[in-house]
Amino acid sequence: MTAQALRGVAAVVGVGESAYTRGGTDGVTDVSVALDASTAALADAGLTPGDVDGLVPPYMGATAEELIANLGLTGVRFCAQVNLGGASPVAALGYAASAVAAGLARTVLVPVGWAGYSGRRARALSAAEPTTSYRKAVRGLYAPNGVHSPSQVYAQVARRHQHEFGTPAEALGRVAVNTRAHAVATPNAIMRKPMALADHLASRWIVEPYRLLDCCMDSDAGAAVVVTAADDPRHTGRARAVLDGWADARPSEPLDMYNRADFFETGLTTAAPAAWAMAGVGPSDMDFAQIYDCFTFEVLQQLEEAGFCGRGESGDFVLSGHTDPGGRLPINTHGGLLSQAHALGMNHVVEAVRQLRHEAGPRQVDGARLGVVTGWGDLGDGSIAVLRREGR
């Protein structure tokens, strides 16, 4: 079977989120926010835990066993886990769609949850026992040279881009400002205070070229989606987000970001062309893009590697207004990891579905019918999914 044969076989029929918070709620854990989101996603799909026979648990936090026991899932016959860091949730959509297409499951739940404010934060995870490629690289290669946190790891790629292509700080700032503008219009967003470019440029340094407002936040957040066959009769009476193309990949040198033959190569460099070919569309066809935004530069880099502009052209692309609210390619219309919450990137998928169902309220992209979501993980792992509106 070719990848193109899988085009359009599966759809996201339910989405859900926990409350997105930064403390102030007792008892918040990775498991609790994943459960809240899962319950909401099943309700949104008009389904019950008894309908779920497939599960793609998150790469960190709640385990499959915890989710099965606490949700009361009694018929799970397909279960798979993706380990691509922040690229995992988008890649998990492809796993779920493939399971549905193969008849391995009829209803697949894909949840995530991270108590990243009340529990272990990003810095603590980076310093944890090295069990992933990212942690092994930080512990063995980077930490001896003073590089410990994600901001320090990724900032060096951003600085190299600035050196080679002259990418200005204002381009990073434009990403932050646009993302905040969308968060202001999003009820379930943490950072809803308007931001101007001057605010961004005046924020304190974290590690050059990243200022405070270039960095995503620690938060408590869970998000989940439900995937079924696109023609499942339980859902044909409403609009849904059909999966037309998906792919994930690791970079050619997955253990070290700084010594690749192509310095700016990521998993998305390989995954994006495959997903576009599978979907039969291209970057210029997209009505919006939800781009994984752990830091502002990672948005610029993914725009390039996904084919929205050429290598080194993302600064001009953003500063020309293409990605502004109301531009030809609005980005992160929910506020993203920078301003909505850090739900490990699954909140990007939730927002894409809401945009395609035309349920995004004041931030709705007019007439949206095609959208794309990307994931970024660890040392540049990449994932991408192309979604299409179908139904009423």
Written as six digits, the tokens of 32 are 């609790």
What's the pTM?
0.96
pLDDT 10s digits, 138-180: 888 888 888 888 999 999 999 999 999 999 999 999 999 999 9
The secondary structure of residue 209, as a DSSP letter, is T
Quickly tell me which residue has 């399971």 as its tokens.
Answer: 99
CB 150 within 8 A of CB 294: yes
Q: In terms of DSSP bridges, do strands 381-390 and 240-249 run parallel, antiparallel, or are they unpaired?
A: antiparallel
Instruction: Report pLDDT for 134.
Output: 80
Distance from C-alpha of 47 to C-alpha of 41, rounded to nearest angstrom: 9
**Structural domains in the chain plus CATH codes:** 3-120+216-390 (3.40.47.10)
Bridging pattern class, strands 370-377 and 288-290: parallel
* 3 state SS for 286-333: CCEEECCCCEHHHHHHHHHHCCCCCCCCHHHHHHCCCCCCCCCCCECC
Condensed to tens digits (0 to 9), the pLDDT of residues 62-113 reads 999 999 999 999 999 999 999 999 999 999 999 999 999 999 999 999 999 9
Answer whether 297's CB lies under 8 Å from 172's CB: yes
Q: Among residues 350, 289, 373, 383, which one has the least CA distance to residue 20?
A: 350
